[in-house]
Amino acid sequence: PHERAAVLHRVAELIAARREDLARLQTRDNGKPLAETRALVDSAAGTARYFASVCETFEGEMPTPRSRDFTTFSTYEPVGVVAAITPWNSPIASEMQKIAPALAGGNAVLVKPADATPMAALALAKLFEEAGLPAGLLSVLPGRGSVVGEAMVRHPLVRKISFTGGTSTGRRLAAIAADKLIPVSLELGGKSPTIVLDDADLERAVQGVVYGIFSSAGQACIAGSRLLVHRSLYDAFLKRLDEVVDRLRLGHPEHDGVHMGPLVSMAHRDSVAAYVASAVEEGGRIRRGGRAPSDPALAAGSYFLPTVIEGLSPDARACREEIFGPVLVAMPFEDETELLAQANDSVYGLAAGIWTRDYRRAWHLASRLEAGTIWVNTYKKFAISAPFGGFKESGLGREKGRQGVLAYMQQKSIYLGMEQQAMEWSR
């Protein structure tokens, strides 16, 4: 464990030393503004350090039974080879979130980065090599999910699948894992409600809601994409939201002061635009955005304006399906019963936000929301020590936290006989 921890610490130092290069590499791969990709790089370094400490301080257990005849030890062993498959929106951070606990647990890891964003994983593997990780313990296999990813998870030596990505892919990988009878962890999609109660601090709530959906141009599993505002505050809230959205700057992701870069690809922009068209067909009114920007300087990129839609029924596609783009659907609610029914009316359960001045109210509401992460008066904040994962179709298992390493280990109980005489039974 000391050697593993030392490698993880050295990697963290190398990541910190190459922060700017790694951030630019990712920005070129997925179009996120530099401020965001720098934060992802910092997160990756922090994750490596955290799991180095977990590795150093990890202990087995001695579940001492009340018996004079035997005693037991419970040890944790590596599962073997781990297949780690990641999406394109936060490459280096999602990859480290799997690599660090898997290596800390003593496994070998195969990483399949997303088709569109292989560069960060490849760079990261080189840093592990430089940090002295023995050859073969970390391999990166870029390529198409349906070809490389599928071949990886089906390989008989792979004994654990750790996946972050869309729910339909996750379901397919879970079926393969079921067939092989191997464990699988799934971090999947979301359609997270962001809730504004009647006593919320309006300005803080507006700023938080805008950040929650439009940072990363909405390409975040945890994006707060369903806005539920108490009827008494609805008009004032939406008016202020319009003003803040109008001030967001779209532009080249390497330029300073840019809030939103392009979406990851033209194909993805078409998919976002198709959702907006479906919302209009289903009776939605576009308050803001709804199209690509008209600025000729942005015409060659896959940009899409921050979009706010209202007037939709909760059954509309744009209210139910994950768009994974800068699209916020806004709906008023009358009381907490209606609010809870609306907020929980989703196949997803990844995250939720609550804006209120009353923490007691927030606590009770949080305990009834079906989501793995709840933010109160904040949004998209993360601690590596806090487990993360989804309820319902947003996932299976938890990543991060001290327990995160257990997802890559299997427990073994060893009994030591202490009887003074030979066993009675056959005598």
Q: Point out which residues bind ligand NAD (CB under 6 A).
A: 85-89, 112, 114-115, 145-146, 149-150, 153, 164-166, 169, 172-173, 187-190, 221, 322, 324, 350, 390, 395
Our measurement of the distance from residue 299's CA atom to the centroid of its chain's CA atoms, rounded to an integer in Å, reads 30
* Beta carbon of residue 244, minimum distance to ligand NAD (angstroms, whole number): 24
CA distances from 119 to 103, 141, 394 (A): 21, 11, 27
Report the candidate in 167, 209, 191 with the shortest Cα–Cα distance to residue 380: 209
Contact by Cβ (8 Å): 368, 345: no
Cα of 370 vs its chain's centroid, Å = 17
336 is known as an active-site residue: no
Nearest distance from C-beta of residue 397 to ligand NAD, angstroms: 11
From the number of C-beta atoms within 10 Å of its C-beta (0-12, 13-18, 19+), residue 419 rates as exposed
List CB contacts of 50: < 8 A, sequence separation 6 or more. Answer: 100, 384, 385
The HSE-up count of residue 132 (CA atoms within 13 Å, CB side) is: 10
Active-site residue, from 36, 187, 310, 370 = 187
* Catalytic annotation present for 221: yes
Indicate the DSSP class of residue 248. P
Quick one: 263 or 308, whose CB is closer to ligand NAD? 263
Q: Are 314 and 277 in contact (CB under 8 A)?
A: no
Q: C-beta of 190: minimal distance to ligand NAD in Å?
A: 6
3 is catalytic: no
**Nearest distance in Å: CB 325, ligand NAD:** 11
Q: Which of 221, 380, 393, 400 is catalytic?
A: 221
Instruction: Give whole-number Cα distances, 25 to 70, 117, 253, 362, in Å.
Output: 57, 9, 12, 40
Residue 289 vs 389, nearer CB to ligand NAD: 389
Sign of torsion over alpha carbons 375, 328, 250, 219: positive
User: Cβ-closest residue to ligand NAD?
Assistant: 145
Residue 89 CB, nearest approach to ligand NAD (Å): 5
User: Closest CB to ligand NAD among 51 and 234?
Assistant: 51
- DSSP character at residue 136: T
Residue 276 corresponds to which amino acid?
Answer: V
Listed residue (16, 17, 21) closest to 34, CA to CA = 21
Q: Say which residues have a Cβ less than 8 Å from residue 40's Cβ, sequence separation at least 6.
A: 23, 26, 32, 90, 91, 92, 93
CB of 115 to ligand NAD, least distance (A): 5
User: By C-beta, is 154 or 249 nearer to ligand NAD?
Assistant: 154
Closest to ligand NAD by CB, 201 or 321: 321
Among the listed residues 98, 160, 380, 400, the single catalytic one is 98
- CB 405 within 8 Å of CB 105: yes
End-to-end CA distance of the chain: 46
Please identify, using beta-carbon distances, which residue of 25 and 153 lies nearer to ligand NAD: 153
Question: Shortest approach of ligand NAD to residue 177 CB, angstroms?
Answer: 11
98 is annotated as an active-site residue: yes
Can you name the residues that pair with 140 across neighbouring β-strands? 111
Contacts of 35 (CB under 8 A, 6+ apart): none
Of the two residues 188 and 250, which places its CB atom closer to ligand NAD in the complex? 188
Shortest separation between residue 149's beta carbon and ligand NAD, angstroms: 2
Which CB sits closer to ligand NAD, 171 or 239?
171
Catalytic residues: 98, 187, 221, 399
